[in-house]
Amino acid sequence: MSKGVPFANPYVIDKPVVEASHFYGRLDLLDWVESSLDKGQPLLIVQGPHRIGKSSSLHQLGAHLGSNYMVFLLGEMAESRLDRLLWQIALAMTESLPEEIALSLQAPLPGLLSFEGQASYFGEEFLPRLSKAVGGKPLLLALDDFHLWGGGDSALQAELLSYLTSLKLNLLLTWEGPAGGMLSQALVWRLGPLDREEARRLITEPGAGILDYDYEAQERILALTSGHPYFVQLLCYALFERCVSKGWVLIQDVDEVVPETMALGKSYLQHLLAASSPQERVALAALGAMRGIQGLILEEEVCYLLQRRRIRLSPEELRVALHRLVERGLLVSMAPHTYRFQVELLRVWLGKEEEFGGSLIKEVRPGKRGLGLKRFFWPVAAALLVILLFLWSIRSRLQPPTGGEGGQGGPVTTPTSLAASGVSPTEPPPPRQNIAYMFWEEESGTWEIYLMASDGSNRTPLTKNEVNDTWPSWSYDGRLVFVSERDGNREIYLMNADGSKQVNLSQNPAPDSSPSFSPDGRRIVFSSRRDGNWEIYIMDADGSQQARVTRNEEPDYAPVWSPDGTKIAFVSERDGNKEIYVMDTTDDWEETRLTSNEATDTSPAWSPDGTRIAFESYRDDDMEIYIMNADGAGQRNLTNDHTVDDYGPSWSPDGSQIIYYAYRDGNWDLYLIGVDGTGRVNLTDSAEAEQGPAWRP
C-alpha cells in the first residue's frame, strides 16, 4: 500500500499477472492457441524476450479455453534426469487438479521410486488414470520457461519433448530468445509489445478513479516503453507511488520518476547482464553510453567509440553481438548496420546505470587512459599563450589616442560617458520575448513558465514556485493563462506578460487544464474533470460564469479558440479514439469531426488567419506534427521524422513557422520548422528540458 495513502498499488511488477481483470491485450495470442489446438497442432511455442508477458499469457489459458481442454501450467523444473522430470510433472499436475477431480483418481500418486528408472510409468500408468479422472477431456501441458528446464540441458530438453510428443499430448512451451533446433518444426508465436491502445489501457485502467494520466503523460510512457508490458507496469507503479496523493500524472512526472523505476527494475538489469555474452555486454554498455542521432546508432559509431576507449572487440565480434541483441528483442534493426533500442527506457537506464554500463567498460579496458592528453597539454598551452600575446600587441597598436598633450581630437567617448551625458548607447535593445514555454528547473525540481525571444535568446522566468506551473497560452492583448498546482490541484491561472498579478481563475477542487483565450479577451475556454469526466468549459476572463459546453460519456479536452472567435477546436474520444473536432460558438455549439483515423490525433492549434490547423498525429507509427485545412481537408505530415515523437505545435504570428517540442537530441528541446517542412532548427539546444511552447499572436 502506498505510504500514507489508503490505496494499494494496482500495477504488477514482480510476478506474472494471474487475475484476468489485470491482464491486457494478447487476445490474438490466446485465439491462436485455441485455433491451432482445434486444428490438431500438438506442439506450440510462444517465444519472446524476458518479461514480455509469456507467463502471464499462460495464466489466462484456462479461462480462455473454457471446458474444451484441461490446462496444466507447469513452471521450470531443474531435475537432471528424464524419469525425475516426469515424476515432477506428474506431481505438479496432480496438485493443480480441482479437489473433486483429485479425489476421483483411483489411487494416490506413487512416490519418486515408482518413476525412478522407468520413465514409461508416466505414460503407461499415470496418464491413463488422470485422463479417466478428468472425463477424457484433452490435456494441454503449458511448460513455462522451457529453455531453463533440466538446468538448461538442451539434450535433456529434447529427450523430454520427444517422449511427451510420443504420448500424443498437447504441448505449449514458452521460450526466451530465438526458438530453433529441436523446436524448428513447431508452430511459433513471437510475442512482442502491446499495441498502443492495449498499452494505453494498461496505463490508465488499473488506477482509474484514483489516478488520472494526462494525455501527454500517456504518450511519454508509450514513447519510453514502446508498449512493453513489464516496463509500462514498472513506470506506472513508480508513478502511482509518487502521484497518487495528488491524483494525477503529468508528462513531467514521467521523466522525474525514472530513477525510482530503475531501482524497481534492478532484477531485470541483473538478468539482462547474466543472459548476455561478454561481447553483448560490451555492446550494450557502448550503446548506452551513446546518445545517437535521433535515437539511431550506427555500427561504425560503436566501433569508433570502442577503439577510442581502447576496448578489444573486433568489428566482426561487434556485428555478431548486435545481431544477437536484435534476435533477443533488445535492439531493432532500422537499416543495414543501424539500430535503436526496442525500449527507449532501457537505453536511458544503460546510460545512467554506472553499475551496469560503467563497470562493463572498465572490465574490458586494458591499460590506463589519458596519457595522450597529458602528453600534448603543455605544448598546446604554450601555443595558445603565444597567440594571445600576439593579439594583445595588435590591440595596443590599434588603440585610439586618449587626448591630452599631443592627442588627436579630445577624449574618447565610452558607454559610461554616453550615459552620463544623456546620450543613449548604440547597443540594440534585447529581442522581444514572444514565446512562453515550460522550463524544468533542476534545483527546485519543478516546471516553471519562462519567456524567450523567437531566436531562443533573452530567457526570463515568470513563475517561481515549489510546485509545477505548466502549459502557458497567450491572449491577444498579451496576458498569459497557465495551469498551476500551487493550490493542491490543477487550476487555471492568469498573469501579466511580466509575471505580475498571478490570479487563480477556476478555483475548483477538480483538475482543470488546457486554457485558451477568446480573441476579444473576454472569455477563456478550458477542460475540467469536475463532473467526473473531461469536458469543455467556458468562463469569463475574471473566472466568473463558468459553464459546461460539451456533454459526452467519453473525454473532451484540449480546446483552442479560433482567431475569429466563431469556432473552438478540441479533442474528443467519443468515437473510440482521439480525434480533432470543432464546435461553432455562434450556432448552438454544433460539433463537427475533422479527422477520421484509427491512430491518435490531438493538440489542435489554429493558424493566425484561421484557415489551417496544426495537430499531433500517430498515424505514421510515431507522433508527428500535421497540418490540415480548417475544414479537415488537406491533411499532411509536416515534421516527417519517424525516429522521434514531436509534440505541441504553435504557429508564428505570420503563419510561416511552427514551434514544437521533441526529445530529439537526447533531451527535451523546442524546435522551429517552416510550414513547408524545411528549415528545422533546435531553438533551445540546452541540457535542461523545455516543453509546451506558445507563440504570442
Q: How far apart are CA 230 and CA 241, in angstroms?
A: 17
Q: How far apart are CA 498 and CA 42, in angstroms?
A: 72
Amino acid 642: pLDDT: 81
Beta strand pairing call for 338-341 and 433-441: unpaired
Q: How far apart are CA 624 and CA 639, in angstroms?
A: 6
Amino acid 369: pLDDT: 35
Amino acid 289: pLDDT: 76
Q: How far apart are CA 104 and CA 624, in angstroms?
A: 62
CB-based contacts of 676: which residues, under 8 Å, 6+ apart? none
Q: What is the DSSP string of 239-251?
A: HHHHHTTTTEE-H
Residues 231-260 pLDDT 10s: 999 999 999 999 998 888 988 889 889 989
Confidence of residue 453 (pLDDT cuts 50, 70, 90): very high
Residues 14-23 pLDDT 10s: 899 999 988 9
DSSP classification of residue 510: S
**Is the model's pLDDT at 696 over the cut of 70?**
yes
Residues 681-694 pLDDT 10s: 999 988 888 999 99
pLDDT: which is higher, 138 or 179: 138
Confidence of residue 620 (pLDDT cuts 50, 70, 90): confident
Amino acid 491: pLDDT: 96
Mean pLDDT taken over the chain: 85
Interior/surface letters 121-140, b for 16+ CB within 10 angstroms, e for the rest: bbbebbbeebeebbeeeebb
Q: What is the CA radius of gyration of the chain?
A: 32
Integer CA distances (angstroms), 674 to 617, 637, 652, in order: 18, 12, 10
Percent above pLDDT 90 for the chain: 55
Number of other residues whose CB lies within 10 A of the CB of residue 311: 18
The residue type found at 35 is S
Q: Give the torsion through C-alpha atoms of 203, 205, 208, 213, to 10 deg.
A: 30
**Is the model's pLDDT at 603 over the cut of 70?**
yes
C-alpha cell at 50: 524476458
Amino acid 370: pLDDT: 34
Amino acid 6: pLDDT: 66
Per the CB < 8 A criterion, the answer to whether 539 and 545 are in contact is: yes
**Is the model's pLDDT at 86 over the cut of 50?**
yes
CB-based contacts of 82: which residues, under 8 Å, 6+ apart? 119, 156, 159, 160, 163
Amino acid 588: pLDDT: 82
**Is the model's pLDDT at 411 over the cut of 60?**
no
Q: How far apart are CA 353 and CA 285, in angstroms?
A: 10
Residues 552-572 pLDDT 10s: 989 999 999 999 999 999 999
For the chain, give percent helix, strand, coil, nearest 5: 35, 25, 40
Q: How far apart are CA 116 and CA 127, in angstroms?
A: 16
pLDDT: which is higher, 537 or 300: 537
Instruction: Tell me what the mean pLDDT of segment 205-223 comes to.
Output: 90
Confidence of residue 356 (pLDDT cuts 50, 70, 90): very low
**Is the model's pLDDT at 536 over the cut of 60?**
yes
Q: Give the torsion through C-alpha atoms of 416, 417, 418, 419, to 10 deg.
A: 60
pLDDT: which is higher, 304 or 403: 304
Confidence of residue 118 (pLDDT cuts 50, 70, 90): confident
Integer CA distances (angstroms), 382 to 358, 371, 379, 394, 396, in order: 35, 18, 5, 19, 21
**3-state DSSP of 530-560:** CCCCCEEEEEECCCCCCEECCCCCCCEEEEE
Instruction: Tell me what the mean pLDDT of segment 613-635 comes to.
Output: 95
Instruction: Tell me what the mean pLDDT of segment 400-428 comes to.
Output: 42
**Is the model's pLDDT at 578 over the cut of 50?**
yes
Confidence of residue 406 (pLDDT cuts 50, 70, 90): very low
Amino acid 445: pLDDT: 81
**Is the model's pLDDT at 432 over the cut of 90?**
no
Per the CB < 8 A criterion, the answer to whether 670 and 624 are in contact is: no
Amino acid 414: pLDDT: 36
**Is the model's pLDDT at 9 over the cut of 60?**
yes
Q: What residues are paired with 626 via a beta bridge?
A: 615, 637
Burial class of residue 77 (count of CB atoms within 10 Å of its CB; 0-12, 13-18, 19+)? buried
Burial class of residue 50 (count of CB atoms within 10 Å of its CB; 0-12, 13-18, 19+)? middle
Q: Helices (DSSP H) in 171-298: which residue ranges?
A: 196-204, 215-225, 229-243, 251-256, 258-264, 266-274, 278-289
Alpha carbon 217 to chain centroid, angstroms: 9
Q: Closest Cα partner for 222 from 645, 662, 647?
A: 645
The pTM of the full predicted model, rounded to 2 decimals, is 0.75
Per the CB < 8 A criterion, the answer to whether 638 and 651 are in contact is: no
Confidence of residue 183 (pLDDT cuts 50, 70, 90): confident
Q: How far apart are CA 393 and CA 297, in angstroms?
A: 48
Instruction: Tell me what the mean pLDDT of segment 41-54 comes to.
Output: 93
Instruction: Tell me what the mean pLDDT of segment 640-669 comes to.
Output: 90
What is residue 108's three-state secondary structure? coil
Residues 503-521 pLDDT 10s: 999 999 999 999 999 999 9
Amino acid 25: pLDDT: 92
Q: How far apart are CA 439 and CA 470, in angstroms?
A: 9
Confidence of residue 422 (pLDDT cuts 50, 70, 90): very low
pLDDT: which is higher, 156 or 310: 156
Residues 280-296 pLDDT 10s: 998 888 888 776 555 67
Q: Among 242-246, 470-474, 538-542, which is the least confidently predicted range? A: 242-246
Amino acid 439: pLDDT: 94
Amino acid 416: pLDDT: 38
What is residue 396's three-state secondary structure? helix
Q: How far apart are CA 33 and CA 141, in angstroms?
A: 12
Amino acid 67: pLDDT: 84
Q: What residues are paired with 339 via a beta bridge?
A: 297, 333
Amino acid 583: pLDDT: 96
Amino acid 17: pLDDT: 93
Instruction: Tell me what the mean pLDDT of segment 127-146 comes to.
Output: 91
Q: How far apart are CA 636 and CA 616, in angstroms?
A: 11
Percent above pLDDT 70 for the chain: 85
Q: How far apart are CA 56 and CA 29, in angstroms?
A: 12
- Is the sign of the CA dihedral 435, 436, 438, 439 positive or negative? positive
Burial class of residue 109 (count of CB atoms within 10 Å of its CB; 0-12, 13-18, 19+)? middle
Amino acid 69: pLDDT: 92
Number of other residues whose CB lies within 10 A of the CB of residue 321: 23
Per the CB < 8 A criterion, the answer to whether 465 and 493 are in contact is: no
pLDDT: which is higher, 597 or 411: 597
**Is the model's pLDDT at 621 over the cut of 90?**
no
**Is the model's pLDDT at 443 over the cut of 60?**
yes
